[in-house]
Amino acid sequence: MNAERLQMPTWYGLKATIELSPNRMLHRAGIGRWLIPHPPVFNWMLRAQLDETAYRRLSVLHELGHFQVLPAIILYLLSGTAVLTILRTTTVQAVIWLLGIFPLWELLAEMYVRWKERSSYRQIFRAASSWRKTLFWGGNAAAVLIQLGCAADTG
């Protein structure tokens, strides 16, 4: 089976391109022909126990979710950078804050999946291992809180 490539519109007019490999080992996402390859670490961690149909459907929605929440991430990046500049944070704090954007983006993308799937999301994950769900939601939330705490610690 070849990689599945989909083009899906976002709410703000951008056409996202999403490509899933058949073996769950690589995703590519981007705009048009400009695709960024990346291992589906968070998709795999959360969806490893799902059947192929559910895995692929939720993975596509998750990748699309990254594009759907992109304007919020850009706004967060710009406003946070302005605040960090005003507070005169250290380079280490700025780097931690920048790295913390990724877990926030993962959480927002998965919230998009939950919103799109609504009641079936809970049903799909009912049988899935709770440690995987806890690691995804709790780990990413903790990383975002650490990010905010580091940025706020100017003393």
Please check whether residue 13 lies inside any domain of the structure: no
What are the tens digits of pLDDT across the range 92-125? 877 888 888 989 999 999 999 999 998 899 888 8
Asked which of 8-17, 21-30, 116-125 is least confident by mean pLDDT, the reply is 21-30
- What pTM did the predictor assign? 0.87
Please check whether residue 70 lies inside any domain of the structure: yes
Distances (CA, A) of 24 to 27, 31, 44, 109: 8, 21, 7, 18
Taking the C-alpha atoms of 30, 148, 75 and 35 in order, what is their torsion angle to the nearest 10 degrees?
-10
Whether the predicted pLDDT of 82 surpasses 70: yes
Question: 148 or 65, which is more confident?
Answer: 65
Q: How many domains does the chain have?
A: 1
Using CA atoms, how far apart are residues 121 and 134, in angstroms rounded to an integer? 15
Please check whether residue 24 lies inside any domain of the structure: no
β-sheet bridge partners, residue 30: 17, 35
Q: Which two tokens stand for residue 47?
A: 């969806």
Whether the predicted pLDDT of 64 surpasses 90: yes
Q: Mean pLDDT, to the nearest integer, of 15-32?
A: 87
Whether the predicted pLDDT of 143 surpasses 80: yes
Range of the domain at 132: 41-152
Please check whether residue 25 lies inside any domain of the structure: no
Distances (CA, A) of 72 to 3, 97, 117: 29, 16, 21
Please check whether residue 98 lies inside any domain of the structure: yes
